[in-house]
Structure 1
């Protein structure tokens, strides 16, 4: 299924951008309407709901499944959920080059995605938490989801408890699975644009291949299939070792947010007279916001390297530090041995075209 969905996402991303835009519109309505259905229906279906004191004041570490008994350590790890969830704005940022009026519409898309994700994500988590029937049963390996899929178990408990069948839970799971599908499609689009942008600047090996644009559909088809191939290769080890998934998501998130830390830090320390503000400008709030953003990135990147379960063994160790170290080592070696001799930074092709036209 993993390989099949990856191939489907790659095929869809080789069509014209209008196709992706149409699918993205379906995705928005699917997730907004489907999210509202889950948020509104689930607490009403559940035979009983947890009190607000439990939802907002109770604390669980689930030591039986994670072996983590330190409440402060669990709190530190819990903040990472938002880092996964807020990935949507990144796709909006990567597609700004293909957006009309990108200087205005790009920031609007980024802020809109953050606002929508924050509201619906919080409502979704509250609906699930209020609808918990028996917390101890959620992580029981003998339950209907083998203790491995808590949201699915909450849905099952709610519908099976009231109607004595799981049809409603399966329907709501289809809503969630559809969101996963649309999310994977969007991430494939975003990843291909990153590869294309780096290839255009000759920042990756064999750049001439990955920066080619499909003559008919005008999309970086080679970059799309490169991302799909890497995605499949990275995912195959998950079949044998579950912690590989944790390592992959950790390294990808560190690379993603870490890439934003560099321009944020540069903006924070650069002289104001060297900066030309655009239509969206933070004004006097720029430095405090940049400082908070930079510190948050440093925090999340550090926490993603920590163990997520104990005791630390081969099948529970967080391999993200090793994977990150290997990636950084290979990149630094490539820079020292080859790339520093010819890489001059981003290619300013818009200025070059304007000069040619003049």
Structure 2
């Protein structure tokens, strides 16, 4: 019995999942969940809101505050290495009186967040495929094929189904694919970051990239400078979460009380550097800013980074082959990220259903007898993801809703255990190997305040004037779901949901 399993037993859970994951495999899945290229679809509008300087330095500022959140979560993960992770942490840290309610809120926020995150990654992957097909068949100007909404939806559904099928295999298969993923993103990321500015015949000066500030009220409808800055850094906030994936795999990881925190912090460290370098590379390689948004350009104005990459390769080699290769690298990162996000979502659903927190819980908590994988939970997440994609046929703001709801739910769920850790008596906390000591409270305070700001920012309208095609539907979606969840709690669940349910008897009550 290793230290992670021993701690799991102290908390009242028996070992059911196979504990086969190593630090590198856990870090690979966590790294894939974040993805260096995840903010690519947001790059164009972030650049439009307030110019390159805000986008570039916004990444640095967001990374700084995100580290407080990750460090706070790493400390809690070290103490509670369980698959239920966030909502389990909330239940134990909030104490017997508030634990069930804190656990309920956290669990449903996280469930909403991870499932919508599947939709966000699927949309991004489908959009990248749409650009690859367009450039490979002749570009928008040369008669290339631009996938219609119906075809786009088919691409969307195909990706989800592939991820679901792969997630029904043993976790070792997913771990192997994510080892490929980490090398794909590191080697491919370095290739894109280094080669793109070298290929581009004309690059922007450093003064433009690091100091140029410019709003575009005529195209965004946003004339307020502070508001434009807030919207511009949404890219960075969206790109820098998901590192808690390591926590969801702790019951399948060796020495999880040490491995979990290491995977969280190392994954965020790599992404912080790679992501910034990637957006610097894109910004330095801009040829003509206004042309990037022209609906008659080679990419139909649909994806600004794709046009930047096309301009660089076509300007140098008079063909789009290099651009297609680079977009395949970016698409690959979406594929691996969506695969890992599906893995994470299934573990969240499994853990919550193990504690009877989801309707028909006995179905979703079943493990496949051979692979020990929560197969039913995988397909539940996939089915909801497929349903979420149906509005693509009618609305152009589906992706905005996906990223907003996923960020509000997923990042918002971080706030519950962090706040509970902030206000609890220190003597009631049993630290793991990674322990902050006196620094814990200030770190948790900064982390909690940052999460509140980040979630609030994603509730804001992103374009003006407001209309059916520009409205941010995230506040409506979040309000409806949370209203149902809170009513369910008040009218029924508070009578039977007690948070994590132990499945072994333990004598040590001081946990």
The TM tier, using the shorter chain, reads over 0.9
Q: Counterpart in 2 of 1:117?
A: 271
The answer on whether the counterparts of 1:140 and 1:146 sit within 8 Å (CA) in structure 2 is yes
SS in structure 1 at match of 2:338: helix
Q: Counterpart in 1 of 2:390?
A: 236
The answer on whether the counterparts of 1:88 and 1:114 sit within 8 Å (CA) in structure 2 is no
Identify which of 331, 341, 346 aligns with 1:192.
346
Are the structure 2 counterparts of residues 60 and 95 from structure 1 closer, same or farther at C-alpha, using a change threshold of 3 Å?
Answer: farther
How far the C-alpha of 1:353 sits from its partner, in A, is 8.0
How far the C-alpha of 1:68 sits from its partner, in A, is 2.1
Identify which of 237, 255, 260 aligns with 2:414.
260
Structure 2 distance, partners of 1:65, 1:196, is 44
How far the C-alpha of 1:236 sits from its partner, in A, is 1.2
Q: Counterpart in 2 of 1:222?
A: 376
Structure 1 distance, partners of 2:433, 2:490, is 39
Structure 2 distance, partners of 1:70, 1:116, is 34
SS in structure 2 at match of 1:89: coil
1:135 has 2:320 as partner = no
Q: Counterpart in 2 of 1:246?
A: 400
Residues 289-320 of structure 1 show CA distances to partners (whole Å, capped at 9, x for unaligned) of 11111011100111111001111011101111
The answer on whether the counterparts of 1:145 and 1:153 sit within 8 Å (CA) in structure 2 is yes
Residues 5-60 of structure 1 show CA distances to partners (whole Å, capped at 9, x for unaligned) of 00000000000011011001000000000000000100100001111110011123
Structure 1 distance, partners of 2:502, 2:203, is 57
Structure 1 distance, partners of 2:507, 2:187, is 45
How far the C-alpha of 1:224 sits from its partner, in A, is 0.2
Q: Counterpart in 2 of 1:294?
A: 448
How far the C-alpha of 1:226 sits from its partner, in A, is 0.2
Structure 2 distance, partners of 1:13, 1:212, is 15
Structure 1 distance, partners of 2:306, 2:458, is 25
Residues 167-223 of structure 1 show CA distances to partners (whole Å, capped at 9, x for unaligned) of 101100000000000000000000000000100111111111000001111000000
How far the C-alpha of 1:61 sits from its partner, in A, is 3.0
How far the C-alpha of 1:334 sits from its partner, in A, is 1.4
Structure 1 distance, partners of 2:373, 2:413, is 24
Identify which of 78, 90, 97 aligns with 2:251.
97
How far the C-alpha of 1:249 sits from its partner, in A, is 2.0
1:68 has 2:204 as partner = no
The answer on whether the counterparts of 1:213 and 1:219 sit within 8 Å (CA) in structure 2 is yes
Where does 1:1-358 land on structure 2 (aligned, <5 Å)? 1-349=155-503, 351-352=504-505
TM-score, with structure 2 as normaliser: 0.68
The 10-residue stretch of structure 1 (72-81 or 310-319) with the greater mean CA deviation from structure 2: 72-81
Structure 1 distance, partners of 2:375, 2:507, is 26
TM-score, with structure 1 as normaliser: 0.96
Residues 221-270 of structure 1 show CA distances to partners (whole Å, capped at 9, x for unaligned) of 00000000000101110221021321232112111111110110111111
Structure 1 distance, partners of 2:230, 2:277, is 22
Structure 1 distance, partners of 2:218, 2:282, is 21
Unaligned runs of 5+ in 2: 1-154
How far the C-alpha of 1:64 sits from its partner, in A, is 4.3
The answer on whether the counterparts of 1:235 and 1:245 sit within 8 Å (CA) in structure 2 is no
State the Cα RMSD in Å.
Answer: 1.4
SS in structure 1 at match of 2:344: helix
Q: Counterpart in 1 of 2:31?
A: none
Residues 124-166 of structure 1 show CA distances to partners (whole Å, capped at 9, x for unaligned) of 0000001111111111111112222011010001011111111
Unaligned runs of 5+ in 1: none
SS in structure 1 at match of 2:243: helix
SS in structure 1 at match of 2:505: helix
Are the structure 2 counterparts of residues 122 and 71 from structure 1 closer, same or farther at C-alpha, using a change threshold of 3 Å?
Answer: same
The 10-residue stretch of structure 1 (86-95 or 129-138) with the greater mean CA deviation from structure 2: 86-95
How far the C-alpha of 1:275 sits from its partner, in A, is 1.0
